[in-house]
């Protein structure tokens, strides 16, 4: 009844994607997790965080920081804060 050595897990690669892969390009161009102002009307706007950015359709979803509601629209209607 000897003790077993713990199972070894393979190391996680530091860079799981190739630098020129589509995934890397999408991350670089995406507005995901950016804090933004978004236009809700002609004279009104909100502030929130981009929770999704579909680069194929160029549609973003923003979660409003005040009430947690979601806004969907075009990146042209955004002003990036951070």
pLDDT digit string, tens, across residues 16-59: 444 444 444 445 689 999 999 999 888 999 999 999 999 999 99
**What is the count of structural domains for the chain?**
1
Q: Are 33 and 47 in contact (CB under 8 A)?
A: no
47 part of a folded domain: yes
Q: What CATH number should be reported for the domain holding residue 35?
A: 2.30.30.140
User: What own/partner pairs with CB < 8 Å and gap ≥ 24 does 6-13 have?
Assistant: none
Write out the residue range of the structural domain in which residue 41 sits.
Answer: 29-80
| Residue 8 confidence (pLDDT) | 67
CB 17 within 8 A of CB 25: no
CA 28 to chain centre: 10
- State the pLDDT at residue 2: 62
46: in domain: yes
pLDDT at position 13 over 70: no
- What is the value of pTM for the model shown? 0.65
Q: Is residue 74 part of a domain?
A: yes
Does the residue 2 lie in any domain?
no
Average pLDDT over residues 3-10: 62
């Amino acid at each position: 009844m000897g003790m077993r050595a713990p199972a070894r897990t393979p190391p996680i690669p530091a860079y799981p994607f190739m630098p020129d892969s589509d995934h890397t390009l999408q991350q670089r161009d995406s507005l995901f997790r950016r804090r933004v102002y978004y236009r809700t009307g002609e004279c009104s706007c909100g502030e929130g965080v981009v929770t999704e950015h579909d680069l194929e359709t160029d549609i973003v979803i923003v979660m409003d920081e005040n009430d947690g509601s979601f806004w969907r629209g075009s990146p042209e209607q955004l002003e990036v804060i951070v």
